[in-house]
Structure 1
Amino acid sequence: MHILFLTDNFPPEVNAPASRTFEHCREWVKAGHKVTVVTCAPNFPKGRVFEGYRNSLWQTEEVEGMRVIRVWSYITANEGFVKRILDYQSFMVTATLASPFVRGVDIVIGTSPQFFTACAAYVVSRLKRVPYVFELRDLWPESIRAVGAMKDSAALDWLEKLELFLYRKAAAVVSVTSAFRDNLISRGIDGSKIHVVTNGVDVARFNPREKDAELVHSLGLEGKFVAGYIGTHGMAHALDTLLDAAAKLRARPDGDRYRIILLGDGARKVELMQRAQSMGLDNVLFVDSVSKEQVVRYWSLLDVSIIHLRKTELFTTVIPSKLFECMGMGIPVLHGVAGESAAIVEKEQAGIVFEPENADALCEGLVSLAGDPALYERYRGNALSGAQNYDRSVLAKKMLGILESITGKH
């Protein structure tokens, strides 16, 4: 089987869509299938092309058995709604134009979070007369409303009609959460073609290790209890809550014991850094995004991982992929996301769930884990054992079975 996968994020980018796509495709190649990925020049999240690449019409490379075709797109930082839409739409056009040059395709996959890539996948599938699969990572454009990036309008209504059209035309929808599946069924999409393949972790790469001594020294973390957030600093993440918790920790008699690291980039990073400085938070460290190869070194620094999203109904349906990475590393989690992902934390007993945007609850959970070694070790062991239930190679085989079933019927 020849799988054509369209995605606007791919390594060396290190965000969740890039990692999931790469790790799934790698497993499909190992299973004996041919995989071609059409993507753009790596630039997320700063909107700057990574060293060694260029934003040209066409460039190809071989990555662990996959053929990767990179096409031109309008590049912008992960901030500003209109510019990001232009980014998404430009890739939709160039990916569509590039795909006819990929021969002998049996199935086309388009991945979200935004669905313009799925638009391209649908068009390409019609041109090639093969099935297409919508990989659903986010309920977009509903998430636009949730973070207040765009007011209700005729444009949003039109986008939702297009979204439903793409679901209906897909041979299958592969959702990363059960809540997304329920949402689609409630909106009239045939449930028999919606499959759930959650995010997971590459357990060969994310596994327990000693704290990186060089980083501990360079960041001044000797003897500190370190909590950290690793990921995008965007509107959806409400990271002001972490700064408020840091202020409360700093006011404690043992406040110097604690450090909070925020690693990554995004639309709100500069604003967060300015606020931390104005609050005098010398217990908060901001670190820029690092490469896929380096990120595990920074995970190793954490005694506790903080996962957080805004307090809104939509985000009860999402499962942040970083949850599985910290479980694989054996790092207990402080989980400030309600809903399906909180249920996983509670089921696996991998950490403490707290109310989103509640700095007091975050501070209380952090102090509790730091002050109770037995509790900490219990959560740590549970996280490690729970990670085995989300092994990316197993999940990739599950999705491959869906693809094989579709091409067999076709």
Structure 2
Amino acid sequence: MNILLINHYAGSDYHGMEFRPYYMAREWVNMGHNVTIIGADFSHLRKKNPKIEDSIQEEIIDGITYVWVKTPEYKGNGIGRIKNISTFMYKLRMNYKKLADKYKPNAVIASSTYPLDIYPAYRIAKRCNAKLCFEIHDLWPLTPMEIGGYSEKNPAIVLLQRAEDFAFKNSDRVVSILPNADRHIKERGFNTDNYVHVPNGIIIDSEKKTPQIENSIERLQELKNQGYFLIGYTGNHSPANSLNTMLDAAKKTEDEKIKYILVGNGNIKDELIDYAKSNNITNVEFLDPVLKDNMENVLRLLDICYIGLRKEKLFMYGVSPNKLFDYMLASRPIIYSIEASNDPVTDAQCGISVPAEDSNAVVEAALKIKNLSEEDKIIMGQNGHEYVLKNHTYHGLAEKFLNALK
């Protein structure tokens, strides 16, 4: 099968996020299929963006054909990002015939977070008589409406809503990372017989790497040697992740020999540091992000991993955070401070689920896990490890996605 996937932000192990298109494509290539990924050459999510000279340029990465579309660089969510998206869409619109005739896909997947790429995907699929698949990551435009407070009458929201409705109406398959996105499709008035849930997943590396020891890992090892019980969060420091709740919990456990650790960067990291200082929270440490190959070493030094999200109606359609599956793979007990329609931590019995934005509940869960016997902590971690291997390996998820395309 020839598969063509459009994802504006698609990355790889060499570029950084977004990883899902790369991992899916790599599995499909290993199964004997031809996979082409079309992405913009600039994305704010990547650690390293590809360097291209032409307007549209091809590159082969691990057997996957990447087609990079040259787009302007930007910072933040202002006019620069709008220009970047507009350029990507315009170039696909002008070149869809060439792309269709060159790669001759049997299946076309529109997979960017925003739904506008459904239009070039539809044209390419129509020209090649291919199956059209719409993949939902986050629900747009519902996400900016619920979290950003945008009105449904905002011109950008109207544009995005038309695109999403077009996708629901014209796609042969709708695949979603979110377990209950079909509720949203029904609310929009569309049939869900063609809906398939394919969550995020994990990669099992058979080749054990020994990356350099970084300062963050050395500091964690120091704290362990000093006898601290470590509760950690790894990843992006953004408003959605409810990290203030974690800091408030830290303030309430200063009498215990517990350290709360935040590893990573993000647009509110400085605010969180200021918040900790102004509230005299002394048992929290902010550490630099580490290399991807070092993340397992970070997680294995933590006694508990924390994951949280703000209270939002949006999460009633479900969540599928990559971070959670990394925690499970590392066999760590987890505090899950999320209110959503799904709860993998309870399903796996690998930690304690508490209400969102409730620091007292986080403290109670932390002390409960801390006071467990070592054997019970190990069992809790193993439960998560077994659950994620059973339900979230990319090989199994790629097969499920492929069956949906067929």
TM-score, length-scaled by structure 1? 0.85
Q: Residue 287 and residue 68 in structure 1: after superposition, are their counterparts in 2 closer, same or farther (change >3 A)?
A: farther
Aligned residues of 1:3 and 1:36 also touching (Cα < 8 A): yes
Residue matched to 2:247: 243
Aligned residues of 2:36 and 2:103 also touching (Cα < 8 A): no
Question: How far off its partner does 1:326 sit?
Answer: 1.3
Which residue of 227, 230, 237 maps to 1:233? 237
Amino acid at match of 1:103: Y
Amino acid at match of 1:345: V
Question: How far off its partner does 1:55 sit?
Answer: 8.1
Structure 2 gaps, min length 5: none
Aligned residues of 1:74 and 1:91 also touching (Cα < 8 A): no
Amino acid at match of 1:91: F
Residue matched to 1:61: 59
Residue matched to 2:71: 73
Task: Write out aligned runs for 1:123-272 (5 A).
Answer: 123-155=123-155, 156-204=157-205, 215-219=216-220, 220-222=222-224, 223-250=227-254, 253-254=255-256, 256-265=257-266, 267-272=267-272
> CA offsets, 1:219-263, max 9 Å, x none?
54333322222233223223221222222223xx22x43232232
Aligned residues of 1:36 and 1:67 also touching (Cα < 8 A): yes
Q: Residue 234 and residue 81 in structure 1: after superposition, are their counterparts in 2 closer, same or farther (change >3 A)?
A: farther
Please state whether the residue corresponding to 2:292 is helix, strand or coil: coil
Alpha-carbon separation, structure 2, partners of 1:233 and 1:84: 20
Task: Write out aligned runs for 1:290-329 (5 A).
Answer: 290-316=290-316, 317-329=318-330
Q: Residue 153 and residue 109 in structure 1: after superposition, are their counterparts in 2 closer, same or farther (change >3 A)?
A: same
Structure 1 gaps, min length 5: 406-410
Which residue of 83, 90, 93 maps to 1:93? 90
Question: How far off its partner does 1:13 sit?
Answer: 4.6
Question: How far off its partner does 1:162 sit?
Answer: 2.5
Alpha-carbon separation, structure 2, partners of 1:328 and 1:227: 17
Amino acid at match of 2:320: I
Please state whether the residue corresponding to 2:174 is helix, strand or coil: strand
Alpha-carbon separation, structure 2, partners of 1:145 and 1:323: 25
Alpha-carbon separation, structure 2, partners of 1:236 and 1:349: 25
Task: Write out aligned runs for 1:11-50 (5 A).
Answer: 11=12, 12-15=14-17, 18-41=18-41, 43-45=43-45, 50=48
Which residue of 393, 399, 402 maps to 2:401? 399
Alpha-carbon separation, structure 1, partners of 2:49 and 2:228: 34
TM-score, length-scaled by structure 2? 0.86
Aligned residues of 1:112 and 1:138 also touching (Cα < 8 A): no
Q: Residue 322 and residue 117 in structure 1: after superposition, are their counterparts in 2 closer, same or farther (change >3 A)?
A: farther
Residue matched to 1:408: none
Residue matched to 2:113: 113
Amino acid at match of 1:25: A
Aligned residues of 1:327 and 1:383 also touching (Cα < 8 A): yes
Q: Residue 129 and residue 337 in structure 1: after superposition, are their counterparts in 2 closer, same or farther (change >3 A)?
A: same
Residue matched to 1:347: 347
Aligned residues of 1:110 and 1:117 also touching (Cα < 8 A): yes
Which range moves more in the overlay, 347-356 or 219-228?
219-228
The alignment of Structure 1 onto Structure 2 pairs a total of residues equal to 391
Alpha-carbon separation, structure 1, partners of 2:79 and 2:376: 47
Alpha-carbon separation, structure 1, partners of 2:92 and 2:295: 29
Alpha-carbon separation, structure 2, partners of 1:371 and 1:55: 58
Alpha-carbon separation, structure 1, partners of 2:238 and 2:78: 12
Please state whether the residue corresponding to 2:261 is helix, strand or coil: strand
Amino acid at match of 1:225: F
Higher relative contact order (CA 8 A, sep 6+): 1
Residue matched to 1:379: 380
Q: Residue 85 and residue 233 in structure 1: after superposition, are their counterparts in 2 closer, same or farther (change >3 A)?
A: farther
Q: Residue 257 and residue 236 in structure 1: after superposition, are their counterparts in 2 closer, same or farther (change >3 A)?
A: closer
> CA offsets, 1:25-82, max 9 Å, x none?
111001100011111236433x8x72774686344332211111222223334x4355
Alpha-carbon separation, structure 2, partners of 1:120 and 1:302: 45
Q: Residue 379 and residue 89 in structure 1: after superposition, are their counterparts in 2 closer, same or farther (change >3 A)?
A: farther
